[in-house]
Amino acid sequence: MSDAPTAWTLEERDRIAILTLDVPGERVNTLNAARIEELAVHLDRLARRNDLRGLLVVSGKPNNFIAGVDLKEVQQLFRSPDPQKADRLTARGQEVFNRFATLPFPSVAVIHGAAVGGGLELALACDYRICSLNGVTQLGLPETQIGIIPGWGGTQRLPRVAGVSKALEMITSGQSVDGRTAAAIGLVWDAVPQEGLIEEAERLLEIVAEDERWRAQRERLAGPIGLTEDQLQFIVAVAEGMLAQRVNRRHYPAPYVAVDVVRRTVNLPLAEGLAVEREAIVPLLGSPASRELVHVFFATRRVEKNPGGGIAAVEGNKVETIAVIGAGVMGSAITSVMARRGYPVILVDLNRELLDRAIERIDAIYQTLQQRGRLSSSARTQALGRIAPMTDLEAVRAADFVLEAIIEREEAKKDLFRRLSDIVRPDCVLASNTSTISISRLAEAVRHPERFAGMHFFNPAERMRLVEVIRGTQSSPQALATIAQLARSLGKTPVVVGDCAGFLVNRILVPYMLEALILLEEGVPADQLDRVAKEFGMPMGPILLHDVVGLDVALYASRVLVAAYGDRLHVPKVLEAMVQAGRLGQKNNLGFYRYRPGRTKGQHDPEVDRLLAELRGGDAAASLSDHVIEDRLFLAMLAEAVRCLEEQIVDDAEHLDMALLLGIGFPAFRGGLLRWADQLGAATVVAKLREYEPLGPRFRPPKLLEELAAGNGRFYPEG
């Protein structure tokens, strides 16, 4: 072996071997080719030891077992010109892990902290697993989330220990389970308090040694699972059915491949199953989706560390008590997140009834979390206890951060900020959740505009991860850092953006939404538009999205953007006509689709066809190919995104792309809107824009794009 510091160490105590992974210089343990080779050497030596009672595999990290394979190495593998390399690494990992089952004594993986991906596969290759009950302990196989499948035995050993249904659920969703659940499903022998973990593992070795039951266990796990054809068909149908509701097979093939591998291997011995798994993973490694998903994995972490706007190194104020003003849809959802994360929140609205309704809404959010096992009943009570509903604005004196979320009227907001300026403490940072009003204009009403900025959450705020931090002309770096830091502590990802109409995300989303309405006016059917957008990978189509957002809200937002970018945008007549006809979307069951009360699945409505035909006058309805529709929708979006980069509304392509991924669900398998542009190539994008330019200046190629096209440049130089 080389002189590189070793990651694995082997000690012996009382005839028990203890193999510890502690990757030098890293916060968490990961596996890579070198660490697999080191492990192989240790396992070879151990295989010759007939004097030992057992092996414990432990981690030297305080709160982590093994966080999976080192994804940087995976990324290099994707770039490798040698296509056999992925196959060799998969084969080698499988081979080395198989050696646990050849040791002349039982092995136990002792898990505290995350044991995920390759880390859990290693633990599964041991005869037994035991884990701590601590909250940091998570066991899972998240490979499908980066576009691959578990390739070191995960698809084979997890079904053998946890059952085929549960294993498929875990593999296809990529979700981890905690220690208690792991014990309940048989994934671990037991889950115990962290303090007694090693002692319990030693006791486990004694128990299984008594009647040598570990040998029988090994034999069982090496054999086929053995399901009848009926059982198998049922389990696979359920897994595929659930999967189809969540992800599209064409965009995210990995979880479907995993189901197929399990289907084909349940009745095979382990060794044959491993060969099938290996054969299935190789084409996925380095496939376009896996490349982009791994890119997104790293981009997410980079943006999480640095929100942009030059504030990465700026220390924000310490926020201990928060006030939220306006307990409507947004104010209550935001308060629910803050209180759950431990902040005392003073929640202010005009009267008691409104506040009572807000508390009901917040508790309903908590109830859903509790039903999903993500919030305990005592945590729910504690969180509610942190909220102080108030009608008197004076109460915000106690806060060191105030978020305004009242109705979207500039004068009402300015009036509130004037009053707040007399009440708040001198170091208090103020923010507005406005989605359409200029932060620099609102700042005119704030006594200390340097302590004021935008903090724009997305609806539903309890779920959406993006928070736009809007930099007004006078906002100080410290105020921006305070907001970004707070957003992060709420589990959100902040991105600093400039103060323009629509800020970043809505400014890019609205031209796409409007293009959909222009196409509708031309006669393209609503369901074709929605289908094309979904096939591109959007979570829902733009017409349905109008109904979900509310047509009155969409109309209002469009007017704001048209006022700012009227040179290229206009409010489509159909939007005005729909709102005038009282069709507001899902909220009154009548939008571009018609809804049965309580339902969110819309039906085609001939009434809308009539309205559209009327607007078209005598013109025939256009019939456009899916291809043209996709071009028009996403080029409209892309052109506006490039203009945002040109105007430095956002730091760079990566921040822009991540904001769209987290804010509107832009498809992750494409890596981002500007990654998509890079895949097409700037010259192709410019040529396509020119083709559509006769439709209006919205398709005029932005200068930056033309420059990239001329110089063969890209938004992401590294590819």
Catalytic residues: 456
Task: Identify whether the C-beta of residue 8 lies closer than 8 Å to the C-beta of residue 21.
Answer: yes
Q: Between residues 499 and 631, which has the closer beta carbon with respect to ligand NAI? A: 499
- Residue 331 binds ligand NAI (CB under 6 A): yes
Taking the complex as a whole, the smallest distance from the CB of residue 73 to ligand NAI amounts, in Å, to 40
Of the ranges 427-435, 522-530, 569-577, 595-603, which one interacts with ligand NAI (CB under 6 A)?
427-435
Q: Between residues 459 and 589, which has the closer beta carbon with respect to ligand NAI? A: 459
Q: Between residues 165 and 459, which has the closer beta carbon with respect to ligand NAI? A: 459
Identity (one letter) of the amino acid at 587? Answer: K
401-404 and 387-390 as β-strands: parallel, antiparallel, unpaired? unpaired
Taking the complex as a whole, the smallest distance from the CB of residue 332 to ligand NAI amounts, in Å, to 8
* 551-565 and 542-549 helices, crossing angle to 10°: 110
Identity (one letter) of the amino acid at 439? Answer: I
Binding flags for ligand NAI, 308-327, as an x/- string (CB under 6 A): -----------------xxx
Helix (H, G, I), strand (E, B) or coil at 150: coil
Q: How far apart are CA 664 and CA 642, in angstroms?
A: 17
Task: Identify whether the C-beta of residue 453 lies closer than 8 Å to the C-beta of residue 309.
Answer: no
Of the ranges 243-251, 295-303, 403-411, 670-678, which one interacts with ligand NAI (CB under 6 A)?
403-411
Of the ranges 185-193, 429-437, 572-580, 613-621, which one interacts with ligand NAI (CB under 6 A)?
429-437
Taking the complex as a whole, the smallest distance from the CB of residue 493 to ligand NAI amounts, in Å, to 16
Proportion of the chain in helix, strand, coil states, percent, rounded to 5: 55, 10, 35
Nearest to ligand NAI by Cβ — which residue?
A: 328
Exactly one of 185, 406, 510, 642 binds ligand NAI (CB under 6 A); that residue is 406
Beta strands, E only, 429-502? 429-432, 452-457, 466-471, 493-498
- Residue 620 binds ligand NAI (CB under 6 A): no
Taking the complex as a whole, the smallest distance from the CB of residue 399 to ligand NAI amounts, in Å, to 14
Classify 396 in phi/psi space as left (phi over 0), alpha (psi -120 to 50) or beta.
alpha
Exactly one of 224, 283, 328, 477 binds ligand NAI (CB under 6 A); that residue is 328
Q: Compute how many residues bind ligand NAI; rule: CB under 6 A.
A: 22
Taking the complex as a whole, the smallest distance from the CB of residue 76 to ligand NAI amounts, in Å, to 41
- Residue 345 binds ligand NAI (CB under 6 A): no
Q: Between residues 389 and 541, which has the closer beta carbon with respect to ligand NAI? A: 389
- Residue 294 binds ligand NAI (CB under 6 A): no
Q: Between residues 176 and 435, which has the closer beta carbon with respect to ligand NAI? A: 435
Q: Between residues 163 and 328, which has the closer beta carbon with respect to ligand NAI? A: 328
Length of the chain: 719
Taking the complex as a whole, the smallest distance from the CB of residue 443 to ligand NAI amounts, in Å, to 15
Q: Between residues 539 and 719, which has the closer beta carbon with respect to ligand NAI? A: 539
| Positive or negative: CA dihedral 362, 367, 369, 375 | positive
Q: How far apart are CA 560 and CA 441, in angstroms?
A: 14
- Residue 577 binds ligand NAI (CB under 6 A): no
* 626-646 and 653-664 helices, crossing angle to 10°: 130
Q: Between residues 14 and 392, which has the closer beta carbon with respect to ligand NAI? A: 392
Closest-CA residue to 393 (of 362, 414, 433, 424): 424
- Residue 483 binds ligand NAI (CB under 6 A): no
- Residue 435 binds ligand NAI (CB under 6 A): yes
Taking the complex as a whole, the smallest distance from the CB of residue 634 to ligand NAI amounts, in Å, to 23
- Residue 416 binds ligand NAI (CB under 6 A): yes
Burial class (CB in 10 A: 0-12, 13-18, 19+), 64: buried
- Residue 335 binds ligand NAI (CB under 6 A): no
Q: What are the CA-CA distances from residue 362 to residues 173, 192, 320, 434, 486 (Å)?
A: 28, 34, 20, 21, 20
Task: Identify whether the C-beta of residue 158 lies closer than 8 Å to the C-beta of residue 117.
Answer: no
Residues 6+ apart with CB under 8 A from 530: 540, 541, 542, 543, 544
- Residue 506 binds ligand NAI (CB under 6 A): no
- Residue 236 binds ligand NAI (CB under 6 A): no
Q: Between residues 205 and 416, which has the closer beta carbon with respect to ligand NAI? A: 416
Taking the complex as a whole, the smallest distance from the CB of residue 327 to ligand NAI amounts, in Å, to 5
Helix (H, G, I), strand (E, B) or coil at 187: coil
Lookup: tokens for 601: 């699945």
- Residue 462 binds ligand NAI (CB under 6 A): no
Of the ranges 217-225, 430-438, 694-702, 708-716, which one interacts with ligand NAI (CB under 6 A)?
430-438
Of the ranges 204-212, 306-314, 405-413, 600-608, which one interacts with ligand NAI (CB under 6 A)?
405-413
- Residue 434 binds ligand NAI (CB under 6 A): yes
Q: How far apart are CA 703 and CA 651, in angstroms?
A: 18
Taking the complex as a whole, the smallest distance from the CB of residue 204 to ligand NAI amounts, in Å, to 52
| Positive or negative: CA dihedral 251, 253, 259, 260 | positive
Residues 6+ apart with CB under 8 A from 392: 348
- Residue 336 binds ligand NAI (CB under 6 A): no
Task: Return the residues of window 346-385 that contact ligand NAI according to CB under 6 A.
Answer: 348-350, 354
Q: Between residues 327 and 575, which has the closer beta carbon with respect to ligand NAI? A: 327
Task: Return the residues of window 19-48 that contact ligand NAI according to CB under 6 A.
Answer: none
Residue 449 — φ and ψ, nearest 5°?
-60, -20
| Positive or negative: CA dihedral 318, 321, 325, 327 | positive
Taking the complex as a whole, the smallest distance from the CB of residue 506 to ligand NAI amounts, in Å, to 9
Closest-CA residue to 322 (of 526, 95, 487, 522): 487
Q: Which residues make up the interface to ligand NAI (CB under 6 A)?
A: 325-331, 348-350, 354, 405-408, 412, 416, 433-435, 457, 459
